[in-house]
Amino acid sequence: MASAKSNRPVETPDEIVDEIEQIRDRLSDTIDELVDRVKPANIMQRQVDRVKAHFVDPETGPRYENIVPVVTKTAGVLVGIIVLRRLLK
């Protein structure tokens, strides 16, 4: 039965400690990234940036092909609400 450590060179205790510290630092960085990623404020900012990118191109300005349908649908809904309110009075 072959040992898993048979192919690895023998490490000194100081090398093992250094390796453990490096692993600990990488894990710490990963945890910090995960904590930052799931903060509600950061999630909200990513969503805001996503919506802005949908309606405004940083290079060319407003994206009218995305803005016009939203404005016309919103106006239609508002007109519909006003008409219904007047009919129900």
Kindly write down the DSSP assignment for every residue of 6-57, as one continuous string.
GGSPPPPHHHHHHHHHHHHHHHHHHHHHHHHHT-HHHHHHHHHHHHHHHHEE
User: What pLDDT score was predicted for residue 1?
Assistant: 44
User: What pLDDT score was predicted for residue 10?
Assistant: 77
User: What pLDDT score was predicted for residue 9?
Assistant: 75
What radius of gyration do the chain's Cα atoms show? 29
User: What pLDDT score was predicted for residue 4?
Assistant: 52
User: What pLDDT score was predicted for residue 23?
Assistant: 96
User: What pLDDT score was predicted for residue 58?
Assistant: 87
- Which residue stretches of the chain have pLDDT < 70? 1-6, 8
User: What pLDDT score was predicted for residue 5?
Assistant: 53
Beta-strand pair 56-57/61-62: antiparallel
Closest Cα partner for 64 from 52, 73, 55, 72?
55
